């Protein structure tokens, strides 16, 4: 049993959760562009409500991505400060996995493969296929970034036929609507966001298995690491000159 603080700000949603020996409490807000103002106060509020201090935690879990570049960096910065200050290990958790578990927690009667999908902007999506096993999301294959059209044409999507659940706001693209309607699929849950509650539940199993790590060297997972680099040709030229 463990006490785990979990944070996520990978999308427009901002959430913090405490998993106290399996009893999970969450604060969740849709707070686009307000993560820097909301994340730490939410941590303070949740700890105060539970009568706990950082020193009483066993680990800090966080949504490690994929997701918004800015949102992931904000969360990473807060986690670094908290983990360094309290000398705590961390547990990075996939945001796509947290979405799959969140759906399963709400609709446990639906036992189908889950394709979590987030809008990656630039006409692309982040996505991953999950199967729930022993109340945990198990990734099938790899997390990917691609255009909606490439996802539709992928062997993974073709293999699933109608027997899956489409989870997340990444499914808003028109090409997805057409593809899902052609399959007569009704298993669409776009309201599901990455959230700290699911991250805290996944992290509890990781802590029990000893799958914790130092904050040193822990990085977000963008899946599309080259984008910000490609947007900065002046920076590249400066480095080459230096």
In tens, the pLDDT along 189-237 reads: 999 999 999 999 999 999 999 999 999 999 999 998 655 444 434 433 3
What letter would DSSP give residue 80? H
Over residues 50-81, the pLDDT tens digits come to 999 999 999 999 999 999 999 999 999 999 99
Could you tell me if 27 and 111 lie in one domain? no
**Average of per-residue pLDDT across 30-36:** 90
- Domain hosting 210: range is 3-94+194-237
CA 223, 99, 190: angle at the middle one, nearest 5? Answer: 100
Over residues 76-121, the pLDDT tens digits come to 999 999 999 999 999 999 999 999 999 999 999 999 999 999 999 9
C-alpha closest to that of 197 among 56, 35, 63: 63
pTM across the whole model: 0.92
Could you tell me if 110 and 173 lie in one domain? yes
Position 242 in a domain: no
Could you tell me if 183 and 100 lie in one domain? yes
Could you tell me if 184 and 101 lie in one domain? yes
CA 140, 118, 110: angle at the middle one, nearest 5? Answer: 55
Could you tell me if 55 and 89 lie in one domain? yes
Whether omega for the bond prior to residue 113 falls within 30 degrees of 0, making it cis, is no
Could you tell me if 114 and 185 lie in one domain? yes
Position 35 in a domain: yes
């Amino acid at each position: 049993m463990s006490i785990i603080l979990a944070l996520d700000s990978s999308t427009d949603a901002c959430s913090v959760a405490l998993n106290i020996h399996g009893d999970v409490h969450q604060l969740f807000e849709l707070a686009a562009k307000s993560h820097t103002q909301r994340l730490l106060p939410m941590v303070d509020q949740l700890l105060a409500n539970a009568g706990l201090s950082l020193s009483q935690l066993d680990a800090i879990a966080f949504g490690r991505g994929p997701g918004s570049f800015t949102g992931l960096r904000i969360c990473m910065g807060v986690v670094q400060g908290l983990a360094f200050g309290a000398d705590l290990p961390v547990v990075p958790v996939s945001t796509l996995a947290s979405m799959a578990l969140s759906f399963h927690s709400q609709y446990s009667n639906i036992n189908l493969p889950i394709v979590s999908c987030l809008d990656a902007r630039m006409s692309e999506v982040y996505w991953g296929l999950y199967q729930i096993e022993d109340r945990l999301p198990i990734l099938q294959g790899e997390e990917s970034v691609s255009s909606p059209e490439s996802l539709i044409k992928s062997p993974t999507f073709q293999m699933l036929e109608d027997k899956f659940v489409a989870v997340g706001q990444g499914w808003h693209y028109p090409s997805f609507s057409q593809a899902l309607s052609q399959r007569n699929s009704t298993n669409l849950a776009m309201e599901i966001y990455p959230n700290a509650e699911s991250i805290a539940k996944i992290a509890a199993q990781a802590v029990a298995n000893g799958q914790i790590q130092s904050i040193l060297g822990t990085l977000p997972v963008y899946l599309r690491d080259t984008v910000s680099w490609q947007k900065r040709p002046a920076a590249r030229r400066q480095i080459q000159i230096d």
